[in-house]
A and B are shown apart, each in its own frame.
Chain A
Amino acid sequence: MKNKLFQVLFVMLVTASLLLAACAPAAPVTPAATPQTIVQTVEVTKEVVQTQVVQVTPTPGQDPEAMIAGVEPNAEITLWTFWLSPTFDAYIKDTIASFQKAYPGVTVKWEDHQATFQDDLKNAYAAGNAPDVINLSISEGWVGDYATQGLLLPLDDQVPAAVKSTYFPNLWDQQVVQGKHYQFPWYQGIQVDLVNRQLFDQTGLKVADFPKTIDGLPALCKTIKEKTKTLCDIRLAVNDLLAQMAYEGGVKTISADGKAFTFDSKEAVDWLQMYVNMVKDGTVDKTVLVTDQDRVGLDLFTSGKAAFYNTGPNLIREVRANNPGMYGYLAVVPAPIGKSGVVGKGLMALSVNSKTKFPKASVALAQYFSNARNMLAFAKLVSVYPSTPLSYDDPFFAAAPVAIEDSAKPYAKDSVSKLADILPTIPHKADVNNIVLQAVQSALFNNVDPQKALSDAVAQANKLLP
């Protein structure tokens, strides 16, 4: 009897399924290359349903997110990310899976590289098996470095204008080499200062009094040393001091015609003198000041031995994981702005290998990861910020911050829209930066006059110019 009942139910179920499948509408064919607005429904909780409007520009294909036409059939491409595994494995894998659905036939192999990313990538290029799509750091200047060596694919002719316009213009225009663009702006960070209120409150200052400009730091560090006996946890960008000079000191690093370096100007000397004074006053941790590893400074802050540290809100998770007791005493303030008036460069980009066998599929993948929807999804996981204005229309960004990690959300769009790479293309950039580093060190630690150190460095760097 039971068996019979089961058989009847089973037949009914199968019949119903077949009927539903037969009655379902055919997959919609979207019109080609015409911008259109689609409505997506997202179930936020069981009770609340919210609607978001996403602007997309469909091109031929079944999926409205498949924006790149002519993708090579059966393409097999490799994606390298920088320090995202294992924390974001699920997000990356899900995004790859949905990309493969949007572009049927394309297969993506993903690898995450961490501390040895640059070495691995250079070796891979030398061996001729570099990845097709590469997650490069804008803030470290990698896109410009690789593009000048002809290792990245220019995107200008590969990407439709409708796609280019989905990004903040200043982010799309970063690290342009000889008029060509080489990167899709990916997730961005907002430079903030994390404040350890346990220490900071001992100074008698309020978090709201935190300096708004860089030149307020020396006085703050003096107060911190006097009141708390701790040193300031400030790090020079030892691999790109030219950029730091430009942002913080408002220094013009090279002449307009590119025939002479100019980083020994009064602005440059004033900038260096500020750090020389801090070292002389003994108010900064010298080890952190000249390390090339951000983690050294972050570790010092996380251990509770520094009053503040300049970083991105995305790294608050490190503090929470490694020193949960301190997490409750954290405050977040906007990072002080330098004389350039520009808050900083972008953070991460996705570029395509110039020698890829599948340029269309690779461009499609880089674009897909950096589209409005996928960046929004990433921003919901961790405190990173999309490079597409549209993503900020989501209620997620309008909601009041709850956790400290979300503190920058209310002003994120404005802040990201102002990120810009103000440094022009510098010939022999790594060598020139190394020359500047030696000069800065001699001024900081060897009592060489900042003007002399920088003028000598300019003379040395000028020899590298043609």
Chain B
Amino acid sequence: MNKIRSFSLTPYLFLMPALIIIIVFLLYPIGAVVYYSFTDYSITTPPVWVGIENYQKLLNDPIFWKALQNSFVYLLVTPALIFISILMAIVVNRKLPGITLFRTLFFIPVISGSIAVGIAWRMMLDTNGIINSILMTIGMIKDPIQWLAEPAYTLGIAMLLTTWMGMGYYMMIFLAGLQNIPEELYEAAELDGCNAWQKHWVVSIPGLRPQITFVTVISSLAALQVFNEIYILTGGLGGILNSGVTVVFYLWRQAFRLNHAGMASAIAMVLLVITLLFSIINIRAMESGTEADA
């Protein structure tokens, strides 16, 4: 019996299309960004090697630290999204007439597109917009508030927008999870004397654990990479006094407003490390959860 396997090109040929796509669209760009992060590069002119200068500048750049802080604050969107989406999933997981309509309505923001939604929100929050109009009508405020020009509100409004846009999508994930939980578990909880909320606390939430872990991973990564909401709401400025500048927005500003693609690449590298760490922590958490369940 001949144990030496003969070399066959066929499997490599099958792998080739995927491999080419990965090299061209993933490995090469990552390699290029790593290289550019050590250069003075303005997109339109050739890069010049500057060593770790971009990273040193970043460490001493207060706006970058502000952007990093804002990005971490933005992560608060994740628990808010999970909480609201589970509540909504529980509400629409009932066999009531017309419930499909509600599910559809809740899902509309997801398919609306962040640019269109951002513009609509900007109009609502305008000095003469509907929000001020309502608040003045009911006597809550005397003079209109310039919501998007108040540094204290910028990030919060963007986070609200992200939450509003995302909750329909995550609701569908939790709804699918809820529908997989056996009805017998709720019956058993009822026999044990649980009321409606207690049933959800002891049955639904543990039953949704895989979905909660999944949503935590993807929504936190999305929160770290937020850009559209900030760009639209702040008219491209990033908020007064950089109040809404996040890491990705700052990356864009460096690359496309200030022409510092080298610096932008260094920011991208920092973001890459942060998202990588997040992914590892989340995946570990997911694995430990699965082991505990087993």
Contacts and interface: CB of A to CB of B under 8 A. Distances in A.
Interface stretch (A116-124, A261-269, A325-333): A116-124
B262 to A, nearest CB: 13
B126 A286 contact: no
Contacts of A54: none
A137 interface: no
B256 interface: yes
A285 B127 contact: yes
B241 A149 contact: no
Contacts of B128: 230, 303, 305
Contacts of B75: none
B60 to A, nearest CB: 12
Contact of B43 (A126, A238, A292, A430): A126
Given A126-B44, A285-B146, A287-B149, A292 B236 contact: yes
B259 interface: yes
Nearest to A304: B128
Given A292-B235, A296-B235, A150 B45 contact: yes
Instruction: Report whether over half of chain A's contact residues are helix, strand or loop; otherwise say mixed.
Output: helix
Contact of A118 (B42, B146, B235, B256): B256
A303 to B, nearest CB: 8
Contacts of B151: 445
Interface string A229-262: 0110000001100000000000000000000000
Interface in A276-326: 285-287, 289-293, 296, 300, 303, 305
A286 B146 contact: yes
B148 interface: yes
Nearest to A119: B256
A442 B237 CA distance: 14
A286 B256 contact: no
Interface string B249-293: 000000011110000000000000000000000000000000000
B240 interface: yes
A88 interface: no
Contacts of B45: 149-150
Interface string B219-246: 0000000000000001111001110000
Contacts, number: 68
B214 to A, nearest CB: 34
A273 interface: no
Contacts of A293: 235-236
Instruction: Report whether over half of chain B's contact residues are helix, strand or loop; otherwise say mixed.
Output: loop
Chain A: interface size category: 20 to 34
B148 A287 contact: yes
B240 A125 contact: no
Contact of B241 (A150, A239, A303, A445): A445
B39 to A, nearest CB: 13
Contact of A287 (B44, B235, B258): B235
Interface in B99-149: 126-128, 146, 148-149
Interface in A120-134: 122-123, 125-126
Name the residue among A296, A442, A446 with the largest chain B CB count within 10 angstroms: A296
B138 to A, nearest CB: 18
Contacts of B43: 122-123, 125-126
B25 to A, nearest CB: 15
A239 B237 CA distance: 10
Given A292-B235, A292-B236, A441-B240, A431 B258 contact: yes
A431 B260 CA distance: 10
B61 to A, nearest CB: 11
A149 B44 contact: yes
Contacts of A69: none
Interface string B137-173: 0000000001011010000000000000000000000
Nearest to B149: A286
Interface in A411-466: 430-431, 434, 438, 441-442, 445-446
B258 A430 contact: yes
Contacts of A441: 240-241
Contacts of A434: 257-258
B235 A122 contact: no
19 contacts: A122-B44, A122-B256, A126-B44, A149-B42, A231-B127, A238-B237, A286-B146, A286-B240, A287-B149, A290-B235, A290-B240, A291-B234, A292-B235, A293-B236, A305-B128, A430-B257, A430-B259, A431-B258, A434-B258
The 6 closest A-B pairs by CB, nearest first: A286-B149, A291-B235, A125-B44, A292-B236, A305-B128, A122-B43
Interface of B: 42-45, 63, 126-128, 146, 148-149, 151, 234-237, 240-242, 256-259
